Chains A and B, each alone.
Chain A
Amino acid sequence: MPDTPTILYCRCAYAQVVPAGVKNEVLGKLCESAASFETVSDLCEMAAHRDPRLQAIASCSHLRIAACYPRAVHGLFQQAGSPLPENAEILNMRTQTAAEITDALLKS
């Protein structure tokens, strides 16, 4: 299924700037769904280390990412040498509700 989106969830575990209630609820809803999804401990930490996994993530043609501000997420991937595709959808757990985010992540 080439157009099936890849869902990525960032836990922001290294600094806790994402509200705990929102990130727990988003992960909870993903776990309640039948969907496959990827989770990482902290995209900032991975970018700081230029983790090669960022390149694997950026290579996905249809990405939906639950993390923080889209400008920051794009910048992190670019700075790590793995720019995101332009059509990557980024949901912001610092400003959006968990319901908005999970709806957008899981929509078909």
Chain B
Amino acid sequence: MITHTHRPLRVILYEGTGSIALPAESRAKVMMALLDKGYAVTRSGQGASAVPHDDRSLLVLGAFEGKAPTLEDATGQITIDTRDITGLAPDAIVSLVEKTRGDKPMNEPGKWKPWFPVIDYTRCTNCMQCLSFCLFDVYGVSEDNKIQVQNNDNCKTNCPACSRVCPEVAIMFPKYQGSPINGDEVNENEAKREKIKVDISSLLGGDIYSTLKDRSSAFKSRFSKERSSDKALDERKKCLTKLVGDGFIPADVLASLPSTEEILKKAEVAKAKAAAALAAQ
């Protein structure tokens, strides 16, 4: 999981008592510019509740007419800076915020795309196909044996292949364009077609985990004969090639796939994890 959260300031555009409200157009320009730089901005006016504060510093901007108040957090935990923006143009207000932040690091749009799978647990049946399919260890199993996204920073930008192989259409990529992978409601007829497509593709793992679920030793024996590791690898390659051909996997992702030996090793590890999780259910 990505843990580098750099968001040093919560900016408050204060337009309450003691401050003159900005013209609406200027207010919108300031807010758009700050948001596009990665800041979180609160407009403090009337008629709505504010989100409780977290542990970041506050920067309070207001047209205080030269009399910016000095504010102090009653708990002593948060630094509160106030700045007078009387008469400043939107660009100058944004510069003032940037200057106040100084050289504190901050996540900024344009440098990284938040691309990672989001599981819709109202649809997910915990079949573990995604765990089996993803070669980049994005998925894992929780302590209570549920599939979860554990390493979203391992996900390959613009690759939604795991959502394509999910038989329940339970995996979303909110930054994807097409429906229902983008989070749009699932048309159940389309979902059935997706399931058929996955079955035809004979995806690696497609029937591995249903086999584990019914725990039939006879079936397991047949499975182990029919699904040699070489055959499984061939199936995965066919599937990946098809997904690339359909435009679902960027070519650079295919080029960065692990070696054959690593894929087989990963498949074994995934199989063991899934088997343990399903057996514990």
A residues at B contact (CB < 8 Å): 1, 4-8, 11, 13-15, 17, 24, 27-28, 30-42, 44-45, 47-53, 56-57, 59-60, 62, 68-73, 75-76, 78-79, 94-95
- Cβ contact within 8 Å between B174 and A27: no
CB contacts (< 8 Å) of B184 on chain A: these are: 69, 71, 95
CB < 8 Å neighbour of A42 from B5, B43, B50, B114? B114
- Per DSSP, are chain B's interface residues mostly helix, strand or loop, or mixed? loop
CB contacts (< 8 Å) of B25 on chain A: these are: 31
Report the contact-size class of chain B (Cβ under 8 Å from the partner). 35 or more
- Cβ contact within 8 Å between A35 and B46: yes
Q: Does residue B27 face the partner (Cβ distance < 8 Å to A)?
A: yes
Bound: A51/B38 CA distance, A: 13
Q: Does residue B52 face the partner (Cβ distance < 8 Å to A)?
A: yes
B residues at A contact (CB < 8 Å): 1-5, 7, 24-25, 27-28, 31-32, 35-56, 107, 109-110, 112-116, 118-121, 148-149, 152-153, 172, 174-177, 182-185
- Cβ contact within 8 Å between B43 and A39: yes
In the complex, what's the smallest C-beta–C-beta distance from A31 to chain B, in angstroms? 4
24 contacts between A and B (CB under 8 A): A5-B48, A15-B114, A34-B47, A35-B45, A36-B42, A36-B46, A36-B48, A37-B42, A38-B40, A41-B109, A44-B174, A45-B107, A47-B118, A48-B2, A49-B2, A60-B49, A60-B52, A69-B184, A71-B120, A71-B172, A75-B121, A75-B183, A79-B118, A79-B119
